[in-house]
Structure 1
Amino acid sequence: MAPSPQTDPTALTALREAWVAALEEGLPAAQQVRERVHADPHLSGDEEPTATLLAEAMELDLERIAGTGRIGRLGPDGPAVMLRAEMDALPLTEQTGAPFAATTGAMHACGHDVHMAALVAVVRAARTLEADLPVGLVPLLQPREESYPFGAVDVTASGRLEEHRVGVAVGAHVHAGVPLGEVAIGAGVVNAAADSFVVRFRGTGGHGAYPHLGQDVMAAVATTALGLQEVVRRTVDPMRPCVLTVGHLSAGPEADNVLPETGRILGTLRTVDADDRAAVQEAIETLATRTAEAHGVVAEVEQTPAMPVLANDEALVGHMTPWLEELGVPVAAPMRSMGADDFSFYSDRLPAVMAFVGTRREGEDGVVGLHDARFLPPAELVGTVARVMVSGYLAGAQVLSDG
């Protein structure tokens, strides 16, 4: 994209000032949207009522994408910056005591209600100054961030990002690992690649009193589960992050005198290096099959790549930091975790940034974090997340102009 007069610092500063003024005016309405979606949460794949509510609140012509998702566009033709918000809730019974708490057994315990309301505020404000936008603004209401098949996979496969010439992706996520109201946007890896695996064991069952007449699947399951904890230590340089977690074990009926015929292990692998990822996956296969063989049973390993590494683009972060400071949003130290987010499917293809907006209060003990039934970010974070999105758009416009 050739440099545009609209992307010189003076023009962008004027746009920022006008945008923030419109944003401030619309925040009360956006906070009401937050309460409405929070009170009526919908699980992955069932976000249609949420999408309908948000489309009406944005007062923007949105197209369907990825099933229950929506995508739209503001601004000129040509390259665009995508702003993404996730719509799905979690299967939790809320315990916040808020007057707008959900009562359906589902809950926005990951802050998606804040992200959605912030995007509504940003889009409604942008509509009042659309002629001044230097590049396209593409709002994405994405379904199924919390569960497979991930919505971002369908979005990237749909061809819509190419149709809208999306050249930069911006996301924001509230997080208890960052001080309240601050934002962490460090360049480089901020979330790990996430893979899941299943080990299935098969053998001949029998009576617990006569183990020599059967095959002890239970022993193979237990030994493999313990051995998996050694895989990372024996495979990966300790200077590189890697986490392998066994989350579920099962074998046979609930009986104390039965040798089970089958067993199962479920686990997750988190890595930040592609070579480590491949090496650990191979080591899981080797350990499981050979441990099973040593116990006289058979093991089959199924590994499912879930999400790639989420990495923030260095140039985008470099442009975004001063915009955040000008908007009065304190920039925190980079936050990197072995968590995962399907926003990584965008960062794997495009210059992208995932900004973590803090919810942790100073001196707070027993911090309530994501996916906790008590998690309830304060109302003012709708405005903070909205400012982060505006900063991301302005930085994205600069990156597209530089390119």
Structure 2
Amino acid sequence: MNISGLLAAARPLQEQLSAWRRDFHRHPEIGYEEVRTSAIVAAHLRCLGLEVTTGVGRTGVVGLLRGETPGPTIGLRADMDALPIQDQKSVPYASEVADKAHLCGHDAHTAILMGAAQLLAGLGRPKTGNIKFVFQPAEEGLAGAREMIKDGVLENPKVDAMAGLHMFPGLDTGTFGVSKGVAFASADSLTIKILGKGGHAARPQEGVDAIAVSAQVISALQNIPSRMIDPLEPVVITIGKISGGYMGAALAPEVEMIGTVRTLSAGVRSQMPALIERVVSGVCSSFGAGYELSYGTGYPIVLNDEAMVDLMTQTSEQLLGGKVWNDIKPSTGGEDFAFYCEQVPGVFFRLGSGSADESTRYPLHHPKFDLDETTLPYGVAMLSALALNFVNRA
């Protein structure tokens, strides 16, 4: 089948794609708990006649469409995990699990890759090369990609390139966005404990108010991106959680702050622990407080391979008969697709999921996040086309 015919071949899957996506949406499972989701995926892949491996990276599933002769292998990845956030949508397919919901589109990613497996399997074995369908657990902060790599997802047969997509409400349905080079930021974790001295709130001079010190620390941290780093290098330092104290009439003896640090440069990233320590130490010293600082190295930068980006953009134009992709700025969001890109050339791109309906324009991770489901066949067709172009270009 010509690449230009793949979207027409994917459109009849619309009802099934929506049904899969809504089922996963009603029954969300967070990182490494994707037992039900994995079972549904594995059963579907087996029905297609693929070689199926389960338990990869704990709860991941891999399906292999082996070609007639040896050749290059491409991996197509979908993440399956939900978020620990309460769904606030009033729709028939709203989450049925308290404080868990698919508010980042991973339910759609899973449905799309299931559809791509069905479409490609229906076309028969590739003449050369192989296509791996990688259904990954635990993208949301738990590094499921790294665990799948440890379990050999990039081997037997050896994967030569990886591709993945992500829903994006900021783009219209049927369009794509991609960044050449750095695509997503590194994502590190930060925990700071301010150690003060308790006392009566009416006599603050007798103690060390950890809450007052923490306020100064939060403000001072923002001087790192604005005054201590090259202003042309993006840095985000966010304190997302703060807790401490017992009552309004007492000084808080201790405050804990939890945050995240994002950069788009490996060089800048390497500077952050020391700069943060310098700022926290200086502020605490000036107020007579102590501190404990923990800096956790998380996801690396997602670095899109230039040749894979070119293949992706050219494929999208073949698929839809014109330029339907946008050269977009890198995101300061984190993505564990980065671990694949450290091992093999990769491309991670956005699929527009927004429509005129305001309900499809909520940002990722919003309690009311939803998407225009007519975008699902576009995702199926695009991943299928990209895989076929990759294995056929040898």
- The TM-score normalised by the length of structure 1 is 0.88
1:65 aligns with 2:52: no
Q: Larger deviation: 190-199 or 88-97?
A: 88-97
- 1:82 and 1:140 in contact (8 A); partners too: yes
CA distance in 1, matches of 2:198, 2:273: 29
CA distance in 1, matches of 2:30, 2:358: 30
Residue 86 of structure 2 aligns to which amino acid in structure 1?
T
- Residue 106 of structure 2 aligns with which residue? 112
* Distance of aligned partners of 1:205 and 1:383 in 2 relative to their CA distance in 1, 3 Å threshold: same
- 2:52 and 2:62 in contact (8 A); partners too: yes
- 1:320 and 1:394 in contact (8 A); partners too: no
- Residue 43 of structure 1 aligns with which residue? 30
Shift of 1:96: 3.3
- 1:81 and 1:136 in contact (8 A); partners too: yes
Q: 1:209 aligns to what SS in structure 2?
A: coil
C-alpha deviations, 1:239-285, integer Å up to 9, x for none?
122111121222221x1222222112212111011221122321101
Shift of 1:219: 2.5
CA distance in 1, matches of 2:377, 2:359: 25
- 1:55 and 1:61 in contact (8 A); partners too: no
- 2:354 and 2:360 in contact (8 A); partners too: no
User: Aligned residue pairs: how many?
Assistant: 385
Task: Find 2:94's aligned residue among 91, 101, 107.
Answer: 101
Q: CA RMSD in A?
A: 2.3
- 1:225 and 1:246 in contact (8 A); partners too: yes
C-alpha deviations, 1:348-403, integer Å up to 9, x for none?
2211111101123369699312112322212211101112212331343367x3xx
Shift of 1:116: 0.9
Task: Find 2:306's aligned residue among 299, 305, 314.
Answer: 314
- Residue 31 of structure 1 aligns with which residue? 18
Q: Larger deviation: 310-319 or 159-168?
A: 159-168
Task: Find 2:176's aligned residue among 183, 199, 211.
Answer: 183
- Residue 248 of structure 1 aligns with which residue? 241
- Residue 386 of structure 1 aligns with which residue? 380
- Residue 224 of structure 2 aligns with which residue? 231
1:80 aligns with 2:73: yes
Q: 2:111 aligns to what SS in structure 1?
A: helix
Task: Find 2:336's aligned residue among 338, 342, 353.
Answer: 342
- The TM-score normalised by the length of structure 2 is 0.90
The within-5 A match list for 1:328-339 is 328=320, 330-339=324-333
**Per residue, is there more strand in 1 or in 2?**
2
C-alpha deviations, 1:152-179, integer Å up to 9, x for none?
1111222231233011111011101222
The within-5 A match list for 1:164-179 is 164-179=157-172
- Residue 214 of structure 2 aligns with which residue? 221
- 1:27 and 1:383 in contact (8 A); partners too: yes
Residue 31 of structure 2 aligns to which amino acid in structure 1?
S
Q: Larger deviation: 33-42 or 22-31?
A: 22-31
Task: Find 1:280's aligned residue among 272, 291, 304.
Answer: 272
- Residue 7 of structure 1 aligns with which residue? none
- 1:114 and 1:381 in contact (8 A); partners too: no
- 2:300 and 2:338 in contact (8 A); partners too: yes
Give the unaligned 5+ runs of structure 2.
Answer: none
Residue 144 of structure 1 aligns to which amino acid in structure 2?
A
- Residue 128 of structure 2 aligns with which residue? 134
1:125 aligns with 2:119: yes
How much identity, in percent, do the aligned residues show? 29
- Residue 353 of structure 1 aligns with which residue? 347
* Distance of aligned partners of 1:310 and 1:27 in 2 relative to their CA distance in 1, 3 Å threshold: same
Q: 1:74 aligns to what SS in structure 2?
A: strand
Give the unaligned 5+ runs of structure 1.
Answer: 1-13
Residue 52 of structure 2 aligns to which amino acid in structure 1?
L
